Structure 1
Amino acid sequence: MPKRILVVEDDATIRDTLTFNLKKEGYVVTAAQDGADAVARARSSRPDLILLDLMLPELNGLEVCRILRQESNVPIIMLTAKESEVDKVVGLQLGADDYITKPFSLRELFARMTAVLRRSEQRDVRPEVEEDRLGRLRIDRAGHRAMVDDAELKLTPKEWELLAYLVRRPGRVFTREILLEQVWGYNYLGDRKTVDVHIRWLREKLGRFGKLGFEIVTVRGAGYRLDPIRDVAGTGERAAGAAQSS
């Protein structure tokens, strides 16, 4: 079945060009020209992916992303003419799956769309093991939730996927490139700093709960590793032999 794409772009030329070329690729396309229209069409057409411009009348792209992310996990790729890292970071923090800076080639856009859609399909497949536990953390894979004791962590979809990936593979070192490929679903198309930003956010959110029984460690020159910790007389000693293979 053809994937349904919602194109949200106030520039008529760009909107029409994207619509035309996406239809040529076999997608079913709905278009919106402002933020309010985008929210309404997303609710009515239930797209498989949204291409969301940042600078929009009525509601800007960041506000649209915030509203839609509260209602669903529909994949969102933000389209922005801004080079500001702040806008990109805020978009990712609000739950966008990826971003692409204008001007961009259709080839790059289609590659990113394919990767994001693939990750979304994998996320929707019911996992064989529905729950993972590590220390005080519980990963509910069926419900896409993370719990510390009885409190739910407020995570964006990508924060959840990254944490779930690491929790299932404690003790192993992963490069930024591997994490990009496994969590974001593409290789070398995105900025490697995306991983660093999401790791920082995870540390901040997990850190509010004190000792959890593990920590996310930066391995200099390599990447990141999730280390289980056995609290021995309050020393926080790392558990020996805790590494597992996937």
Structure 2
Amino acid sequence: MSTTPACILVVDDEAQIRKFLDISLRAEGYKVLLAANAGEGLALAATQMPDLVVLDIGLPDREGYDVLADLRQWSQMPVLMLSVRDAENEKVRALDAGANDYVTKPFGIQELMARLRALLRGRSDGSESPLRYDDGQLIIDMVRREVVLQGLPLSLTRKEYAVLTTLVRHAGRLVTQQQLLQEIWGATHTRDSHYLRVVVGKLRQKLGDDPALPRWLKTEPGVGYRFLI
């Protein structure tokens, strides 16, 4: 476990909340980054790689759910969603989308700190998945959200990009169909393997990857897929 202070990114458009959390978190010994909107938050997450993100759902430029979806394309850093919306369906939606916890406003600071400590117990030891893949032919830049094949930009749909980057984050390891469906389509689609087959087929076409002699995407029949390294 790391002995350096954990870095927490707070993304919230309310100046009072940002100031309150900045003071409270620094008093607990954390390093703090502050963002007032989605764009600032994603930029700081990509460049500073915080250990945890406190993310408001109601942001001025984009919904927090959209920010979470973008973040989950390239990182599994813990995310605690913060919102005035206290309906059960909102909490379920956030957790299904990949949030690790959900706290409603107004909140007690001691409870929030306890939840943050729980999320940070599994803090990375520096083995965070790489944000860029480059083998000389294929470049996948997960910070810039760019894919380049043999020097030319490759246009991928949102789902194609999500499948590709999920496999790259687990490069060399088998990723099951159920895991991919749950992470990308959501918990209610874990049996919809035909969605995945269609997306992988289109990905192979765009990459020029022969399923019989794969360079990058290998099928493990009936189980899942593996990104070859």
Are positions 1:156 and 2:183 aligned together? yes
Number of paired residues?
Answer: 149
Are positions 1:109 and 2:136 aligned together? no
Q: CA RMSD in A?
A: 3.0
- State the partner residue of 2:176: 147
Q: Distance in 1 between matches of 2:7 and 2:91?
A: 25
- State the partner residue of 1:172: none
When normalised by structure 2's length, the TM-score is 0.58
Q: Distance in 1 between matches of 2:5 and 2:105?
A: 26
Deviation, structure 1 residue 59: 1.3
Partners of 1:48 and 1:75 within 8 A in 2: yes
Partners of 2:9 and 2:52 within 8 A in 1: yes
Unaligned runs of 5+ in 1: 126-139, 158-197, 211-246
Are positions 1:62 and 2:89 aligned together? no
Q: Distance in 2 between matches of 1:119 and 1:22?
A: 19
- The aligned amino acid for 2:182 is L
- State the partner residue of 2:7: 4
Are positions 1:17 and 2:3 aligned together? no
Deviation, structure 1 residue 33: 0.4
**1:226-237 equivalent positions in 2, closer than 5 A:** none
SS in 1 for 2:121: helix
Unaligned runs of 5+ in 2: 129-166, 195-229
SS in 2 for 1:82: coil
Q: Distance in 2 between matches of 1:80 and 1:152?
A: 28
Q: Distance in 2 between matches of 1:12 and 1:28?
A: 18
Deviation, structure 1 residue 83: 1.5
Q: Residues 100-131 of structure 1: CA distance to partner in whole angstroms, max 9, x if unpaired?
A: 01111111111111111113449x69xxxxxx
Q: Residues 82-108 of structure 1: CA distance to partner in whole angstroms, max 9, x if unpaired?
A: 122222222112111110011111111
Are positions 1:88 and 2:91 aligned together? yes
Partners of 2:91 and 2:102 within 8 A in 1: yes
Partners of 1:145 and 1:153 within 8 A in 2: no
Q: Distance in 1 between matches of 2:70 and 2:37?
A: 14
Q: Residues 114-157 of structure 1: CA distance to partner in whole angstroms, max 9, x if unpaired?
A: 111113449x69xxxxxxxxxxxxxx9x9386425xx8633339
Are positions 1:27 and 2:30 aligned together? yes
